Amino acid sequence: MPSPRKRHAVQLFSGLPSHYDRVGAIMSFGQDPRWRKALVEFISPASGMRILDVATGTGMVAFAHAAGGAEVTGIDQSEAMLAGAKARLERTPELAGRLSFVLGEAEALPFSDAEFDALSFTYLLRYVDDRAATMRELARVVKPGGRVAMVEFGVPSERTLRVLWQIHTRVGLPLMGRAVSREWYDVGRFLGPNIEQFHAAEPDLPALWAAAGIGQARQQNMSFGAGVVVTGVRDGAATE
């Protein structure tokens, strides 16, 4: 029986794909593409690499990895979001041979140990019940020495900026969401409190990663802390 958190995550994303890319960027004041770019630069996708993108959604990060020459698998638990990724693939036939999309959960990945050269995930950890176990499962499928990177929303630490961020998330986001659809209004109301609760519950992301077997973990706060990029390397000696 799925937990209330999981049921909410599946329901939340069932109505979003059609506007997801544009509205998602607007909701972060256009900053989110910079955070994704930092993630992709760290992963350094290249021909011959196999990369897993978890919680791939409409596949924005997966496509960026594939454009770099890598072979990419995107996995997500939402059929609706994956339909968005597949529609994008139809519009980008030149990448078709390098991208595949799979329905599945971050908590139980349908892949072998050390199957991938690198792994990325964006906006995932706020939706899982057991973050430590999920991080171990993510680390499991990465080769020793493989790069891992994530993006998440953050909360600015400076007082004035934090107040402005709270106004943006509590008033601005719901208003923007309402202008688009009922589903986006729900997202707009949900995001601010959910981001704050997540960081209060998980104040040390590099420590969470280290405990899961991902070393050299570093957190980079971007856009005054509104975006968080965490990078690290799977423990163990690289095989080549």
Residue of the chain from 40, 51, 73, 78 that contacts ligand SAM (CB under 6 A): 78
Contact predicate 62/119, CB 8 Å:
no
Residue of the chain from 27, 51, 57, 192 that contacts ligand SAM (CB under 6 A): 57
> Considering the complex, what minimum distance in angstroms separates the CB of residue 159 from ligand SAM?
28
Shortest-Cβ-distance residue relative to ligand SAM: 57
> Considering the complex, what minimum distance in angstroms separates the CB of residue 98 from ligand SAM?
18
Beta carbons within 10 angstroms of residue 228's beta carbon: 20
d(CA 146, CA 123): 20
According to CB under 6 A, which residues from 164 to 203 bind ligand SAM? Answer: none
Please provide residue 199's backbone torsions phi and psi, each rounded to the nearest 5 degrees. -70, -30
Q: Which stretch binds ligand SAM (CB under 6 A): 38-46, 52-60, 88-96, 174-182?
A: 52-60
- Chain-centroid distance of CA 15 in Å reads 18
Q: Which stretch binds ligand SAM (CB under 6 A): 57-65, 85-93, 159-167, 223-231?
A: 57-65
Contact predicate 196/163, CB 8 Å:
no
> Considering the complex, what minimum distance in angstroms separates the CB of residue 116 from ligand SAM?
15
Residue ranges binding ligand SAM (CB under 6 A): 9, 13, 55-58, 60-61, 76-78, 81, 105-107, 122-124, 127-128
